[in-house]
Each structure stands twice: as C-alpha cells, then as structure tokens.
Amino acid sequence: MSKKILVTGGTGYIGSHTVVELQNAGYEVIIVDNLDNSNIRILDQITKISGIKPQFYQLDLSEENKVIELAKAHPEISGVIHFAAHKAVGESVQLPLKYYRNNFFSLINLLTAFAGREVDFVFSSSCTVYGQPDQLPVTESAPVKKAESPYGNTKQVAEEILQETAEANTNYHVISLRYFNPVGAHASALIGELPIGVPQNLVPFITQSAIGKRGPITVFGDDYNTPDGSCIRDYIHVVDLAKAHVAAIKLLEDNRTIKYDVFNVGTGKGSSVLETIKAFESATGVKLNYKIGPRRAGDIEQVWGDVTKSAKELHWKAELGLDEMMRSAWAWEQYIAENPFE
C-alpha cells in the first residue's frame, strides 16, 4: 500500500506542482485548500498531468475542530506538507493580525490534530528568514535576522514552533525548506503561477506584460552594488522545488533520527532583474518593454543560497536553468490566455 501524504494548500502554485511530483513518486495525496488564493480547476489540471485525481477537501485550517475531524478520518496519513498560508508581503504590513491569525492557527491546529501519531512534517519556509545576509552565498547556519514584514515573521516563528514541538513530541519528524525564488511552470503548461490581481513577483509580471495584460515592467532601482545595478535573486524552477519536497519526505522516512532540520532550496546562483529580463527575451524571442524606476522599500539588494547541505544530505539539487524557467512560464501564460480559469 502506498503511503498517504496530506498537502495543505495543494491547489496553489508550489502545492500543485508538489502534488504531481508526489504522485509520480508513488504517493497517494490528500489535498486540503480553502481556495482563498487558488482555483478548483487546478484539480482537473493535476489529473490531466498525472492520470490520478487526488482526494480533495475544501477546508479552512484555522478551524481547529475541522482539522481534528480530518485527521481522525484519515489515520493512514503518514506525512504532511504544509503550504497553506497567506503570503503577500505588502498586505501583511497593512493587515498583520490577518497573517498572524491564519498562518499560526493553521500550523498549530495541524500539529495538534496529528500529535498522537508518528508523522513526517515538511514546512514551506523562506529565505526571507535571512534578511540581507552578511555573507553570500547564505548557508543554513547564517543568523536569522529580524523580519522585514509580518509575513516574514510568521515564517520565522513557525520554524521555532516546529522545532520546539518536534523536540517535545517524539512522534514528529520535521524539515523546514527555505525556498529562494520559485518561478516557471510544469512542462505540460497545464499548471503554473496564477497570481490574483497585479503580480507582486517579477516573472509573472514579465509574462503578463509580454502577453499585453500589463504595461511596461518597472525595474526597481539600477544603482545597487551589483554588476548591473539591479537586485539579485536565486531563482529556482518550481518543478525542482516540488521535487525537493518529495526528497524531504523520503529523507524523513529513511532517517528516523531526524527531529528537526532546515535546508536551503535554490540553485546556488544569483541572477539580476535585468539578467532575468534578458533571459526571457532570449528564451522566447519576445521583446519586453521595461523602464528603470526608483528603489522599492523593503527590497533586499542581493541574496542567493549555498545548497551544499541539500545536495549532500537531502540528496537533491536543482536541474533546470533560467532559460527553462522563462520558457515554461511563457508557455503557461499563453495557455491561460487561451484557456482562462476565471
């Protein structure tokens, strides 16, 4: 009998790609999502790719009784991958209580509901916990700096909650994956990033601008201390990122001595905003209209990850480059234009 994994936020961007990779690896998947920031049609798209329709519950994880009922109904669940969270940095500054209530209550309710059984738990964390690192590339042992936003703070505190819970509860085995910047889409172009409203991230704004849905791209600052003056990020293909979650579940299954551990999930290489724009033009043959604007408050100058530990202990490394990230993101944007979800 295949092992069953609960994926919260499984119809979202990273969640949906991870569901596909789990199914490809032979796992059964149960998805929980309140559809607050995703679309129910993603279930059908997952089924088209994998040939397997995952079990689905529309449920708000901040409702403790419903989470407990779900856990009781599925004693066979052996692992949880937790994506479900509010994630807009700007909104979190305006509505901090919304973020603290949702992101903490959902995590605490999950940990409470599964506390009575042995469970492998993989948490969706972020490189935002490092702030602007003192040294690059940043390693997992770098200090966690004061968060720049309530959203970033929820990631930091959630890691602390998980570590302390795992140390106090012998049933829990936990890995936090600190992502860098996920971009791209599945090779089938059937799932990808589906931002609601104006995209806050660079690549979906690039593709929406390229297809005519948005105006010119603004590059926020060209006077940073970087080779071309624009900010540098470690972009990682979402399919590589999804595979890292499967690797984390397998590591926890194989190594029962792990109580709590963290891993960087990136490529180990930084790309600037201007390099990324040029990579899109090169990969797709589509010319972009962009302009230089002032720096944006809260932007970190440059960050990319040291992924040595992930390669050595997680037995995972990114395989897809920036060109493939851009090509797949563009194919998805074209698919959505022809097959709108709304």
The pTM (predicted TM-score) of the whole model is 0.97
Burial class for 47, CB neighbours closer than 10 Å (0-12, 13-18, 19+): middle
**Contacts with 245 (C-beta within 8 Å, 6 or more apart), sequence order:** 18, 21, 22, 81, 122, 177
CA dist 200 to 91, 153, 214, 325, Å? 11, 19, 12, 18
Residue in this structure with the two tokens 């990631």, named with its chain if needed: 155
Q: Which of 151, 172, 179, 224 is catalytic?
A: 151
Burial class for 93, CB neighbours closer than 10 Å (0-12, 13-18, 19+): middle
SS3 (DSSP) at 322: helix
8 Å CB contact between 122 and 248: yes
Check if 151 is active-site.
yes
Structural tokens at position 206: 């690039």
**Is the alpha carbon torsion for 118, 109, 52, 180 positive or negative?**
negative
8 Å CB contact between 267 and 307: yes
What span, in angstroms and rounded, lies between the C-alpha atoms of 266 and 193?
A: 18
> In the prediction, which pLDDT does 342 show?
67
Percentages (nearest 5) of helix, strand, coil residues in the chain: 40, 20, 40
8 Å CB contact between 309 and 264: yes
Q: What is the pLDDT along the chain (342 residues), one digit of tens a residue?
A: 569 999 999 999 999 999 999 999 999 999 999 999 999 999 999 999 999 999 999 999 999 999 999 999 999 999 999 999 998 888 898 999 999 999 999 999 999 999 989 999 999 999 989 988 999 999 999 999 988 889 999 999 999 999 999 999 999 999 999 999 999 999 999 999 998 888 888 999 999 999 999 999 999 999 999 999 999 999 999 999 999 999 999 999 999 999 999 999 999 999 999 999 999 999 999 999 999 999 987 788 999 999 999 999 999 999 999 999 999 999 999 999 999 986
8 Å CB contact between 303 and 180: yes
First to last CA, the chain: 38
